[in-house]
Structure 1
């Protein structure tokens, strides 16, 4: 297959467990692979270079700024922005090829499905749609800060067939560590934006998050994995308000 006028870009830190699988899925269609690495201490850089990636070592600046740094280094007319733990399936690869060759829209939304505790979830964390394939001329830019960053473009978007397979968590412990990390980041963003801790939100929002994921979004059909996914949403919402309270107390004491 001839390579497309496509740059695929990543940010990375100690991603040796995921990097090879992900790069192998795009290496034969991408004219350029860009990796902005946050000074990994494992074999991430060596694996990326094995696939011909241009690797840039940079200090961590936060998700939004780090991803924008990767975007800025892309030289091809089309850009596919991926996380190191995301792998396009065959149907999505075919759709990406068609979209780049047709150029009908300024960007395309991809459907993502998470692999969790040994199995792909059918209902939990669905729908999960992300704008990832964009024209460079559409002025792509990551926005939203360091918790809910999103890719923005100028122009119309379409949707692609196929799925982005998301190998996000190594195990339950890894999931819990990341949950706490992102809950704290979310609390810091709330604090930065002037949002106050509310005891009412602390009481009602966590169970509401669970019911939404487990009942309304049919997470119960994923069995025990669906329960874990929904409970993690409850825990995440609870912790971000607790961390916000903690930040307010520290500020008050100082």
Structure 2
């Protein structure tokens, strides 16, 4: 066993959770923070030997911040969603990293591979890098939608990827989830809650997550965002190289952006803005 704890966040994940738990079987301290599932999620987690904590969901960042305060056995923590998997090669790298990391290093960033219809969306995936390993008590989340993990210390870059199946529950589930996300994004835009963008940070910032925050703030101010996003994904990022899954994913992302635009206008109209 490794000196690494694992946190998995769940809500009705009886379909995806077993494979996620199997992928972290190398850890002797697996925690599942469940948002009061109505299916067998908690039972499955307990059968795998995971420690289950039930909590009513009250927001993405707040739920994750609660999870970061659970009584973990080890100083290093890997954070996952149920539709994600740690590959054997990444597990080996995580173990070596936990043994050798210096005190000033408080987190590790790794690449996520999104899979749809058996195809890695190598080009279509917009944000492939995520901090998913942190020192316990030296990280917290900010921003409720597309939450940002803030780490107190340096962040190392790992080479091995983890795997994500965003469409594992079908297209209806993905659309339903992003319908909720688009409303939350629209609220941020309509209320002017996003940060004041800094072009220098957006282009040359040393931290990937910080660059992404400023890039998104700049993007919010652009006209015709859905069209820009579609062109960016298909032509600039060459999503077409991922085959039809890449093309269809680019179209879905443009539709998602259009939802944000329409809901923002609706909210502003309701307030007479």
TM-score (norm 1): 0.89
- Counterpart in 2 of 1:235? 255
- Counterpart in 2 of 1:155? 153
Q: 1:167 aligns with which of 158, 165, 168?
A: 165
Superposed displacement of residue 244, structure 1? 1.1
Matched, 1:92 2:79: no
Write out per-residue CA displacement over residues 107-136 of structure 1, whole angstroms, 9 at most, x where no aligned residue: 110100111133222221055100011112
Superposed displacement of residue 249, structure 1? 2.5
Superposed displacement of residue 203, structure 1? 5.3
Q: Is the 8 A contact 2:119 2:242 kept in 1?
A: no
Secondary structure of the corresponding residue to residue 158 of structure 2: strand
Task: Report how many residues are paired.
Answer: 244
* Structure 1 residues 175 and 61: CA distance shift in structure 2, 3 A: same
- Cα RMSD of the aligned pairs, angstroms, is 2.0
- Counterpart in 1 of 2:76? 78
* Structure 1 residues 151 and 194: CA distance shift in structure 2, 3 A: closer
The aligned runs of 1:174-189 (5 Å cut-off) are: 174-189=173-188
Q: Is the 8 A contact 1:113 1:126 kept in 2?
A: no
* Structure 1 residues 117 and 181: CA distance shift in structure 2, 3 A: farther
- Counterpart in 2 of 1:143? 142
Structure 1 gap ranges (5+): none
- Counterpart in 2 of 1:21? 19
Distance 1:99 1:234 in 2: 38
Matched, 1:56 2:76: no
Superposed displacement of residue 216, structure 1? 0.8
Write out per-residue CA displacement over residues 43-100 of structure 1, whole angstroms, 9 at most, x where no aligned residue: 1101111122211111111110001111100422111111111101121111111111
More displaced stretch, 181-190 vs 12-21:
181-190
TM-score (norm 2): 0.83
* Structure 1 residues 194 and 73: CA distance shift in structure 2, 3 A: closer
Write out per-residue CA displacement over residues 134-178 of structure 1, whole angstroms, 9 at most, x where no aligned residue: 1125x1101122x21121111111111211100111222322222
